[in-house]
Structure 1
Amino acid sequence: MSQPSYTDRDLDILTRTLVGEAEVKDSDDAQAIANVIVNRMRLPNWPDSAAEVCLQPHQFSCWNNADPQRARILAMDKSNPWFLSCLGIARQALDGALADQTHRATHYWATYIKEPKWAKGKTPCYSNTAGRYVHHFYNDIDTPPPVSAGEALDQVRPLAQTRTVQGAQVALGGGAIVATAMEAANQVRDVLPILDTIRQYSPWLVLAAMAIGIGIMVWARIDDRAQGLR
């Protein structure tokens, strides 16, 4: 298969992606990640340029607006030895001269984060264990490439699992549980008079349960937005 042509921008973006994603001074890790990017370029359902692959929404976290790595990789230049190493690896990858130890992997994740949904039940085709954390690589992931930030987030963080939605569930579920309990208390208040006193406060208990859930939802929303997430 012929190697796609590339521009100076492709080379620069790929280099900075390797700086941000790979373990510092771990050339094997940088080479494996470069292979993932080139492997995506070669598939018809992914972009055909390195820059477009690297900058797809929420695919390489170093480019997320809230990620602290973004400022670091944008500030680096050829005066930095690790940047120079990544530049050489990026050039080799785009020239088609880099051996692929990942066996055509198109996905990977680092063990310092929670295992993504797409990796569950899958066996890595290659793992880099030399650094402080492990990068697992996969060549059998059938998750289609995302076309938007929303789709990208759905693949690694389904909407139903977000704290915003979970907070709403607490609000609704907590209110319903308290309301049900108060209705039961109402049925037996003649037998247990103290329950009549509790029943008088039931509307406030329902509101308190819902307020807690709404508080969780609002806080999660603010925190997620600060991190560049849904």
Structure 2
Amino acid sequence: MMKAVRADHEDIDILARTLYGEAEGQNVQDAIAIACVVMNRVSYPNWPDDVSEVCLQPWQFSCWNTNDSNRARITKAKRPDKWFEVCYGIAARAVEGTLTDVTNGSTHYYATYVAKPKWAKKGNKTPVYRVKHKNGYSHLFFNDIDTKPPSTPKEALNQIRPPIGKKDAAGASLAGAGIGLSAIADTLTDVKDQIEPLAQYAAALQYLFLAVALIGIGITVWARIDDRRKGIR
């Protein structure tokens, strides 16, 4: 059984709506597995220890994205909608600690009808649980993803060292731009079969963007040395 957590009716409601939008084809097995992922994240140090905060984290559960068609559907869901009733029951069992973790500690999953996420590509990650859907696709669940992937290049930079002051911010912006643009070059390489005319420039772009990132990092380092010399910090 999963560990019980402190949660109120709002937490259960938000978790139920997450399951309502994320589980494919009103699949109970899928809803249970996704509830397990949420609860595993609540227990994991790199995520909030609050059910609602985990569900509503930006770019994590796509049904809450403002541009996702599911968002309107999940916000309008209410009893006596039978599927919402099922999801609410699963959510209640999850926070009460009476739900068995069928995913073996998974904190991530993705649908096979979308491109494989980068976190699944690194180190040849192997799914520990699979839920097959009637449409022929599946949700694959993983328990060997160590950390929460940064949502943006800026967040990735801030996880290393938060920029302080205007000079640092300028350097960080350039470095962040280099990181973000480099990711675009990586994407061009990944899909070169589809966009062969552009892929031939990927290697050159990577060197260019790396140079931009290094310049930004250099400005940040210089700013810190200059501030230290002036006794600012």
Q: TM-score, normalised by structure 2?
A: 0.64
Q: 1:138 aligns with which of 142, 165, 179?
A: 142
Q: 1:124 aligns with which of 120, 124, 127?
A: 127
The one-letter amino acid of 1:127's match is: R
1:73 counterpart = 2:74: yes
Gap runs ≥5 in structure 2 = 157-178, 189-197, 205-233
- Cα deviation, residue 131, structure 1: 3.2
Q: Distance in 2 between matches of 1:24 and 1:50?
A: 24
Deviation readout 1:44-70 (Å, 9 max, x if unpaired): 221111110011110000011000000
Q: How many residues align?
A: 165
Gap runs ≥5 in structure 1 = 153-157, 177-230
Deviation readout 1:120-165 (Å, 9 max, x if unpaired): 111101011143220000000123354769649xxxxx833449x9
Q: Report the secondary structure of 1:109's partner residue.
A: strand
Q: Distance in 2 between matches of 1:16 and 1:45?
A: 23
The one-letter amino acid of 1:62's match is: C
Q: Distance in 2 between matches of 1:32 and 1:149?
A: 30
Q: Distance in 2 between matches of 1:8 and 1:97?
A: 17
Check the 8 A contact 1:108/1:135 in 2, yes or no: yes
The one-letter amino acid of 2:109's match is: Y
Q: Report the secondary structure of 1:4's partner residue.
A: coil
RMSD of the alignment, in Å? 2.8
1:63 counterpart = 2:67: no
Deviation readout 1:162-220 (Å, 9 max, x if unpaired): 49x97xxx6xx6xx9xxxxxxxxxxxxxxxxxxxxxxxxxxxxxxxxxxxxxxxxxxxx
User: What residue number does 1:43 align with?
Assistant: 44
- CA 1:70 to 1:162, structure 2 compared with 1: closer, same or farther past 3 Å? farther
Larger radius of gyration: 1
Q: Report the secondary structure of 2:25's partner residue.
A: coil
Deviation readout 1:58-89 (Å, 9 max, x if unpaired): 00000110000000100110121000000000
Deviation readout 1:8-40 (Å, 9 max, x if unpaired): 111111000001100132100000000000000
Q: Distance in 1 between matches of 2:141 and 2:100?
A: 15
Q: Report the secondary structure of 1:73's partner residue.
A: helix
Q: TM-score, normalised by structure 1?
A: 0.65
User: What residue number does 1:11 align with?
Assistant: 12
- Cα deviation, residue 97, structure 1: 0.4
- CA 1:18 to 1:149, structure 2 compared with 1: closer, same or farther past 3 Å? farther
Q: Distance in 2 between matches of 1:31 and 1:41?
A: 15
| Residue identity (%) | 50
Check the 8 A contact 1:39/1:106 in 2, yes or no: yes
